Amino acid sequence: MSYDLLIRNGTVVDGTGAPAVRADVAIAGDKIAEIGKIRAGAARVIDASDLVVAPGFVDPHTHYDAQICWDPLVTSTSWHGVTSVIMGNCGVGIAPCKPEVREIAAWDLVNVEGIPFDALSKGISWEWIGFDEFMNAAARRACGINLGFLAPLTPFRHFVMGEESMDRAARPDELARIRALLRDAIAAGAFGFSTTTFSNHIGYQARPLACRLASHDELMAYAGVLKELNRGAIEIALTKTIGILTDEEYQLLDDLLCAANRPVTWLLVSIRGQDGHWQTLKKAEPLIGRGGIPQVSAVPIIVSIDLRAPGIFASMQSWRPAFNQTREEQKKLYASAEFRGAFREELKTFKRFKVDMARIAVDDTKREELRPLVGMTIDEIARRRGRDPVDTFLDVALEDDLAARFTMIPAEEDRIHELIGDPRTIIGLSDGGAHVNSHCEAGYPTYLLGHWVRDRQVLTLEHAIKRITSEPADLFGIVGRGRLAAGMAADVTVFDLDTVGPAGRQQLVRDLPGSGERFVVKANGIEYTVVNGQVLYEHGRHTGAMPGKVIRSQAM
């Protein structure tokens, strides 16, 4: 017989962890038809000699809910060999949503995801009210890769409770209505639901994201929906102290696992001193044995900070007055002795993450006379000026009319490998579509393969590919994807192990609706990306095809 596409003579790594083999991959329609030595012809043949042929990568943690309205290729993620994404993480999203409160939903994304309000107002199509309508609208639009959805709890609570959802727990009648909406969403194909307790996650008018006000009884009732339907997973951001699991958080995860009888994945485990991360994983082992799994990052998170959108400081009480203000109002605040004193005092006791002026450097300035500061840390500038570091940080921002960008230099980046190969974790946290004004980790698949597999050799090729294909697919119950085998969906990534990796550091571009800014990371070494049997990218160039689908959960 003749096939539609034949990938010849590649090093096939099937996503299961099995040893690589030299083989051909034949595709008929949108399915893999055969793997082995294939003598039949095909309408198109790709020569994969000296290339690795893998399942399309699956990104389990993205926030592309709004971006899919204006970016059908779902960039930067699709540039890096990803063929399927799960969005709607961390309890924030734009469906369900009544027409009269669309602005509130958009401000949630501004404050949590750093997307400019103007981009959202110009770019979101608002073709829906209910969550099933949101998924159906995505299915009607052309898309390059496969789109999977979690039901984010914030818009569900707001849909039923209005603005009171940002102030209190649901009453019994409201809980029942929210639960029914979640059940309908998951029955329609959502891969579970998401929520957060992270104080950094603030929404409209800098108030708590509505899902943070959900009571324990609420969360257990919503988790029970997954048990009834026997599908999906729960994603929750638990970060009272980044990377550490408190006793209270442990108990919540325990209760969610019991109520849902389905997987629960949480944020996050990260490198903490000499052995803090090992202590956290050891503590979590009883949960992990029952389907709990913490997410870890495969890349150092390089945060760009500008004080017009100070999301990095959202969990600090002293910074709350800075959100959703005009430039002039922010400048007045940052210049005030009261604000500076409050910030300085809060730094003495703040433990969620380390704010170290010795690790914050000037990355770019608008005013030419400030250009000599680029590359210098705030501590260095403070010593040169004979000023306090906090005052210096705010002074430099004010001197550049809040246009200055600062980079928070990551610590412990050389030790990430201690977590990414650990079977008790799952690699995620790309946050694709989120924090667009400060950082971009969407290139983690190519970084994993280029840096940790090829250059550092801390993971085998087979293990690394399993970590970003079958493992995330299995976690959320994405049926028929994440492996190369006859009968599976024909999602395939073909890459050159000698060159694969991010193409340099993250770049700031103006390609959002209304010419808004975002950070992107481009890719090297991804030679072909095949989605549902069609070539989406060839040598890094889009072919014009839009073969992606909305993928939906199924009862297990």
| CB proximity list for 356: less than 8 A, separation 6 or greater | none
Q: What is the pLDDT at residue 47?
A: 98
Q: Which helix (H) or strand (E) holds 5?
A: strand 3-12
User: Who wins on pLDDT, 301 or 434?
Assistant: 434
260 and 156 together in one domain: yes
Task: For residue 554, tell me if it sits in a domain.
Answer: no
Across the range 459-486, mean pLDDT stands at 98
Q: What is the pLDDT at residue 356?
A: 84
274 and 328 together in one domain: no
pLDDT at 1 over 90: no
Mean pLDDT taken over the chain: 94
Range of lowest pLDDT (117-126, 271-280, 282-291): 271-280
39 and 61 together in one domain: no
User: Who wins on pLDDT, 139 or 556?
Assistant: 139
Beta strand 3-12 with 42-47: parallel, antiparallel or unpaired?
parallel
pLDDT at 348 over 70: yes
Q: pLDDT confidence of 313, banded at 50, 70, 90? A: confident
33 and 62 together in one domain: no
Q: pLDDT confidence of 112, banded at 50, 70, 90? A: confident
Give the pair of three-digit tokens for residue 277.
């991360």
pLDDT more than 70, % of the chain: 97
Range of lowest pLDDT (52-61, 342-351, 372-381, 398-407): 342-351
What is the 3-state secondary structure of 356-395?
CCCCEEEEECCCHHHHHHCCCEHHHHHHHHCCCHHHHHHH
Range of lowest pLDDT (106-115, 224-233, 362-371, 446-455): 106-115
User: Who wins on pLDDT, 223 or 411?
Assistant: 223
pLDDT at 152 over 90: yes
CATH number at residue 264: 3.20.20.140
| CB crowding 268-277: b at 16 or more within 10 Å, else e | bbbbbeeeeb
pLDDT at 413 over 80: no
| Spatial distance between the Cα atoms of 397 and 343, rounded to a whole number of angstroms | 15
Q: CA distances (Å), 426 to each of 48, 223, 472, 475, in order?
A: 29, 21, 7, 9
322 and 398 together in one domain: yes
Task: For residue 550, tell me if it sits in a domain.
Answer: no
Q: pLDDT confidence of 371, banded at 50, 70, 90? A: very high
pLDDT more than 90, % of the chain: 81
Burial (CB count <10 Å: 0-12, 13-18, 19+), residue 172: exposed
pLDDT at 412 over 90: no
Q: Say whether 414 sits in a helix, a strand or coil.
A: helix
pLDDT at 477 over 80: yes
Across the range 164-190, mean pLDDT stands at 98
For residue 156, the enclosing domain spans 57-302+411-499
Q: pLDDT confidence of 251, banded at 50, 70, 90? A: very high
pLDDT in tens, 376-394: 999 999 999 999 999 999 9
311 and 295 together in one domain: no
420 and 390 together in one domain: no
CATH number at residue 533: 2.30.40.10
Residues in the chain: 556
User: Who wins on pLDDT, 492 or 317?
Assistant: 492
What predicted TM-score, i.e. pTM, was given to this entire model? 0.90
Strand-pair partners of 293: 265
126 and 226 together in one domain: yes
End position of a domain, from candidates 380, 408, 436: 408
pLDDT at 271 over 70: no
Query: Is residue 128 a contact partner of residue 97, using CB atoms and an 8 Å limit?
Result: yes
Amino acid residing at 476: F
pLDDT in tens, 43-88: 999 999 999 999 999 999 999 999 999 999 999 999 999 999 999 9
158 and 70 together in one domain: yes
pLDDT at 409 over 80: no
Distance of CA 67 to the CA centre of its chain: 13
DSSP 8-state code for residue 409: P
| Spatial distance between the Cα atoms of 315 and 320, rounded to a whole number of angstroms | 8
pLDDT at 532 over 90: yes
How many domains in the chain? 3
Q: What is the pLDDT at residue 272?
A: 67
Task: For residue 15, tell me if it sits in a domain.
Answer: yes
pLDDT at 258 over 70: yes
pLDDT at 274 over 80: no
